[in-house]
């Protein structure tokens, strides 16, 4: 009888162990399911760097536009020679109808930019604009800018401050007058980096940003190199409505095999330094010809960079202005027609499409 009781107890014990094991496996399975349900949404959220609402006007694809053709140029001390109304209309039709661009960036608030806005408005062209406010030098960067061989005279710097205030008022006026065309206002272009010739103090630019913000309804930003934003941009990022940065891997010695990965690294440096800021890329491009870059510049490589980087920007909800619409032969060294500054366009200076346009 004692033996029977012992066997019964052993059987009961084994049954309890079996039930416990089943319960444990069920708990682990439920825990795994619970963890998977928590991980999947996070993975989906990480697929895009930004939410879709971060896009300007809801588009990722945009282009920088300056319409100066051969023989034309902005004011270089003796007055400007600007594109005509009909030439501007031709350009905007090319960009909107042939390339399907719905958003362009222009760089100042002068007569030429006013012409662009007027042509869009009067002809009902389906294009919106990021309007620029160009800032002249208020500080002399002759010790850090490679092409400034001597200090900018103090008298000139003081005059530039007055001209900058005039330019700001022009920008405010245009943003108000063409409020249905202008979707954002940019104050200053690469005016913060040490290597440029039109440097302005950060606190001064912040004061300009706040002045414009008080006067217009559109979001206001400042455009500069990604490195400046990553290293120094925290204070300015709090003042602007979104951060505008530039990336140029070919200028930094990269060939096309590193073009995409290096550009993404640049953007991520800014994102890491200023994680709460909405990012817009206001310049990214690849020269099709450049004596400075040798074989790293070509139409084929420009085409590849456009497709790869603009594709990444679309996936990550980052509005990106490709630099630029048309070649501009007034830029750079007039004695070097093969210089990079003249050959960033998707089209040549005489409006012939390059390979990137033909492939699209």
The per-residue pLDDT for 113 is 98
Length of the chain: 360
Give the domain CATH number at 74.
3.20.20.80
If asked whether residues 37 and 100 sit together in one domain, one would say: no
The per-residue pLDDT for 1 is 41
Angle, helices 256-273 vs 299-315, to 10°: value is 30
With cut-offs at 50, 70 and 90, classify the pLDDT of residue 142. Answer: very high
**Radius of gyration over every alpha carbon of the chain, rounded to an integer in angstroms:** 28
Answering whether pTM is above 0.75, one says yes
If asked whether residues 16 and 90 sit together in one domain, one would say: no
With cut-offs at 50, 70 and 90, classify the pLDDT of residue 76. Answer: confident
Mean pLDDT of 78-96: 96
With cut-offs at 50, 70 and 90, classify the pLDDT of residue 359. Answer: confident
Q: Please enumerate in sequence order all residues whose Cβ is within 8 A of that of 234, keeping only pairs 6 or more positions apart, or say none.
A: 273, 274
Lowest mean pLDDT among 10-14, 119-123, 213-217, 276-280: 10-14
The per-residue pLDDT for 47 is 78
If asked whether residues 290 and 353 sit together in one domain, one would say: yes
Q: Please enumerate in sequence order all residues whose Cβ is within 8 A of that of 147, keeping only pairs 6 or more positions apart, or say none.
A: 197
* pLDDT digit string, tens, across residues 332-352: 999 999 999 999 999 999 999
Whether the per-residue pLDDT at 2 is higher than 60: the answer is no
Kindly tell me the sign of the dihedral angle through the C-alpha atoms of 306, 236, 271, 54: negative
Mean pLDDT of 267-284: 98
Phi/psi of residue 19, each to 5°? -65, -40
If asked whether residues 181 and 264 sit together in one domain, one would say: yes
Domain count, the chain: 2
Look up residue 256 and give its two tokens.
């096309």
For residues 318 and 33, give the distance between their C-alpha atoms in angstroms, rounded to a whole number: 34
Domain boundary among 9, 26, 45: 45
* pLDDT digit string, tens, across residues 5-55: 334 434 444 444 444 444 444 444 443 433 333 333 333 345 799 999 999
If asked whether residues 227 and 295 sit together in one domain, one would say: yes
The per-residue pLDDT for 78 is 81
The per-residue pLDDT for 46 is 56
If asked whether residues 104 and 36 sit together in one domain, one would say: no
If asked whether residues 8 and 77 sit together in one domain, one would say: no
Residue 130: strand pairing partners: 105, 184
If asked whether residues 321 and 198 sit together in one domain, one would say: yes
The per-residue pLDDT for 163 is 97
- Mean pLDDT, the chain, rounded, equals 90
With cut-offs at 50, 70 and 90, classify the pLDDT of residue 77. Answer: confident
Whether the per-residue pLDDT at 202 is higher than 50: the answer is yes
The per-residue pLDDT for 360 is 80
Domain interval for residue 152: 54-359
If asked whether residues 263 and 283 sit together in one domain, one would say: yes
The per-residue pLDDT for 14 is 44
Look up residue 226 and give its two tokens.
């990604």
If asked whether residues 258 and 314 sit together in one domain, one would say: yes
The per-residue pLDDT for 38 is 32
If asked whether residues 20 and 130 sit together in one domain, one would say: no
If asked whether residues 21 and 59 sit together in one domain, one would say: no
Whether the per-residue pLDDT at 58 is higher than 50: the answer is yes
């Amino acid at each position: 009888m004692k033996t029977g009781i012992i066997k019964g107890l052993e059987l009961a014990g084994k049954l309890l162990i079996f039930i416990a094991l089943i319960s444990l496996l069920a708990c682990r399975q439920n825990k795994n399911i619970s963890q998977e349900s928590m991980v999947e949404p996070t993975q989906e959220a990480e697929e895009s760097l930004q939410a879709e609402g971060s896009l300007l006007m809801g588009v990722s694809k945009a282009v920088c536009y300056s319409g100066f053709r051969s023989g034309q140029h902005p004011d270089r001390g003796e007055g400007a020679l600007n594109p005509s109304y009909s030439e501007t209309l031709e350009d905007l039709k090319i960009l909107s109808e042939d390339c399907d661009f719905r958003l362009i960036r222009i760089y100042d608030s002068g007569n030429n930019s006013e012409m662009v806005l007027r042509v869009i408005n009067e002809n009902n062209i389906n294009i919106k604009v990021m309007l620029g406010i160009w800032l002249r030098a208020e500080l002399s960067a002759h010790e850090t800018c490679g092409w400034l061989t001597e200090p900018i005279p103090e008298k000139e710097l003081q005059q530039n401050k007055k001209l900058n205030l005039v330019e700001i008022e022009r920008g405010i006026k245009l943003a108000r007058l063409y409020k249905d065309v202008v979707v954002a206002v940019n104050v200053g272009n690469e005016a913060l980096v040490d290597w440029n010739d039109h440097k302005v103090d950060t606190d001064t630019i912040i004061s300009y940003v706040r002045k414009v913000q008080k006067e217009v309804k559109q979001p206001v930003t400042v455009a500069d190199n990604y490195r400046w934003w990553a290293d120094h941009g925290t204070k300015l990022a709090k003042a602007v409505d979104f951060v505008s940065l530039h990336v140029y891997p070919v200028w930094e010695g990269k060939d096309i095999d590193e073009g995409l990965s290096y550009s993404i690294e640049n953007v991520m440096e800014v994102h890491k330094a200023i994680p709460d800021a909405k990012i817009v890329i206001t310049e990214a491009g690849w020269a099709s010809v450049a004596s400075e870059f040798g074989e790293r510049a070509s139409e084929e490589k420009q085409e590849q960079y456009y497709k790869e980087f603009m594709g990444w920007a679309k996936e990550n909800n980052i509005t990106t202005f490709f630099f630029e619409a048309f070649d501009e032969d007034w830029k750079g060294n007039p004695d070097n027609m093969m210089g990079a500054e003249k050959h960033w366009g998707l089209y040549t200076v005489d409006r012939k499409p390059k390979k990137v346009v033909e492939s699209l």
